[in-house]
Amino acid sequence: MNILIINAGSSSLKYQLMDPETGVVSAKGLCERIGIDGRLNHKVGENKVTKDIPMPTHSEAIAATLAILQDAECGVIKSVDEIDAVGHRVLHGGMEFFDSCIINDEVIAAIKKCIPLGPLHNPANLMGIEACQAVMPTTPQVAVFDTAFHMTMPPKAYRYAIPTEYYENDSIRRYGFHGTSHKYVAKRTAQLVGKTEFKMVNCHLGNGSSMSAVKDGKCQDTTMGLTPLAGVPMGTRSGDIDAAVVQFICNKYGMSVDECLNMLNKKSGMLAMSGVSSDFRDLEDGANNGNEDCALARAKFCYEVAKYVGAYAAALNGIDVLTFTAGVGENDSAVRADVCEYLGFLGVKIDPELNKKRGKEMMISTPDSKVQVWVVPTNEELMIAQDTAELVNAAK
């Protein structure tokens, strides 16, 4: 089976053609500068091709993607008919979507209804969907939502303690993001530990970071909120902050709320605290060279991640498994070690030698650790491909 995975942003569109059973990616690429001029970066194995192609809208980007996938030289299919289905990543499913689903008119209307919750991403995601429908009208399309995995949270986890009218009238609540990654890691971890009933905390630590508390495969709580700004501090996001800080800064510096939120999303986090970079590799280099701000930024990050593990261990009444994933979680052994250092009280014990390895699926806890600690490289595209294949096969 061939599943085309589409992740459409406002001026870019990423694609992968994947076999959902083997996870083998036959081709992938990126259309960028959509609406400006248009460039296609296509990759088959180690062969890379870059082409300037006019892309006034997402329709031309999809057309260029389908053309290069069928190209005599760098293509991998002979006809669009070889694409069995398309899986679209959609940011916000609001309270409309609890799972992935086959796209029809009602689904499109419901994704539109969620635009106020995802004002930047959902319109772009819809452009990708509509462009695909126009050029491949008979190919099934599936929407996979970044929020859906978290929809099993109980109300005490997802409700904010603010007047009910904002929840009832405006759907303001915790949603959480990175759901496709959390779902993939939860499923994969169940295979790795060989059971389905267990309690885990998953740490998706990348440029954007979020954590989830998962019981028997179902999400019970997560750190991000109505938007991805909440939770642990991130590359450029502040993470949790007293809302009154916004009022203080706006009043004192004559900033609008939008400007202040832009600062909290794009100019805060590790970048702001270190004054050097949002990239954890640069923070480590800085800290190793005596830069105290870099050391403090890293320390703050590990402290907040460990605090949430503790909070979620309380929420779940203990944990059996702790997982690390995404750019930092998979590669930064020092962050993993520093986080686990706080968790001795839970019986977490990692093997420093095993923990030195990076980017590989592996258990890094010692045999006598009360909690199994795993590194599980995430694969959101595979999760999208599997969800898409499952829904399309079930509908046959």
- Hey, what amino acid is at 130? E
State the minimum distance, in angstroms, from the CB of residue 165 to ligand ADP: 34
78 binds ligand ADP (CB under 6 A): no
Q: Shortest CA distance to 283 belongs to which of 222, 327, 241?
A: 327
Separation CA 355–CA 365 (nearest Å):
8
Does residue 280 touch ligand ADP according to CB under 6 A? yes
Hey, what are 80's tokens? 């669009």
Single residue of 147, 331, 355, 372 touching ligand ADP by CB under 6 A? 331
235 binds ligand ADP (CB under 6 A): yes
Output the DSSP codes for 177-227: S-HHHHHHHHHHHHHHHT-S--EEEEEEESSSEEEEEEETTEEEEES--SS
The verdict on 228 binding ligand ADP (CB under 6 A) reads: no
| Contact status, residue 93 vs residue 147, Cβ threshold 8 Å | yes
Q: Given the complex with ligand ADP, which of 2 and 325 has the nearer CB atom?
A: 325
Measured distance CA(290)–CA(293) in Å, rounded = 9
> How many angstroms from the chain centroid is the CA of residue 279?
17
Q: With binding defined as CB under 6 A, does residue 326 bind ligand ADP?
A: yes
Instruction: Identify residues 96-155 at the interface with ligand ADP (CB under 6 A).
Output: none
Dig out the tokens for 325 from the structure.
């994933």
Nearer to ligand ADP, 56 or 359 (CB): 359
* Shortest Å distance, C-beta 199 to ligand ADP: 24
Q: How far is the CB of 206 from ligand ADP (least distance, A)?
A: 2
Tokens of 50: 């870059």
- Of all residues in the shown chain, the one whose CB is closest to ligand ADP is 327
Q: Which of 221, 327, 340, 379 binds ligand ADP (CB under 6 A)?
A: 327
| Binds ligand ADP (CB under 6 A): choice among 60, 279, 320, 351 | 279
Distance CA 364, CA 351 (A): 6
Q: Which residue among 19, 99, 146, 221 is the active-site one?
A: 146
Asked if 108 and 129 touch (Cβ cutoff 8 Å), the reply is: yes
70 interacts with ligand ADP by CB under 6 A: no
The yes-or-no answer on residue 146 being catalytic is: yes
Closer CB to ligand ADP, residue 216 or residue 279? 279
Return the DSSP state at 152.
G
CB of 286 to ligand ADP, least distance (A): 12
* Min dist. Cβ of residue 335 to ligand ADP (A): 7
Q: Which stretch binds ligand ADP (CB under 6 A): 90-98, 301-309, 314-322, 327-335?
A: 327-335
Among 119, 125, 120, 84, which Cα is nearest to 107's?
Answer: 125
Distance CA(220)–CA(320), nearest Å, equals: 15
Binding-residue pattern over the window 351 to 370 for ligand ADP, x denoting contact by CB under 6 A:
-------x------------
Are 187 and 217 spatial neighbours (Cβ–Cβ below 8 Å)?
Answer: yes
Q: Is 207 in the site for ligand ADP (CB under 6 A)?
A: yes
- How close are the terminal C-alpha atoms of the chain, in Å? 14
Kindly report the number of other CB atoms within 10 A of residue 324's CB atom: 29
Judged by beta carbon, residue 71 or residue 279, the one nearer ligand ADP is: 279
Least separation in angstroms between CB 107 and ligand ADP: 26
Q: According to the binding rule CB under 6 A, does residue 227 interact with ligand ADP? A: no
Find the part of the chain contacting ligand ADP (CB under 6 A) among 89-97, 258-266, 315-323, 328-336: 328-336
Q: Does 302 interact with ligand ADP (rule: CB under 6 A)?
A: no
Between 74 and 296, CB nearer to ligand ADP: 296
> Both tokens of residue 113?
């209804």
Give me the helix-helix angle, 333-341 and 292-315, nearest 10°.
60
d(CA 338, CA 306): 9
Binding site for ligand ADP (CB under 6 A): 206-208, 235, 279-281, 326-328, 331-332, 358
**Which amino acids are annotated catalytic?**
146
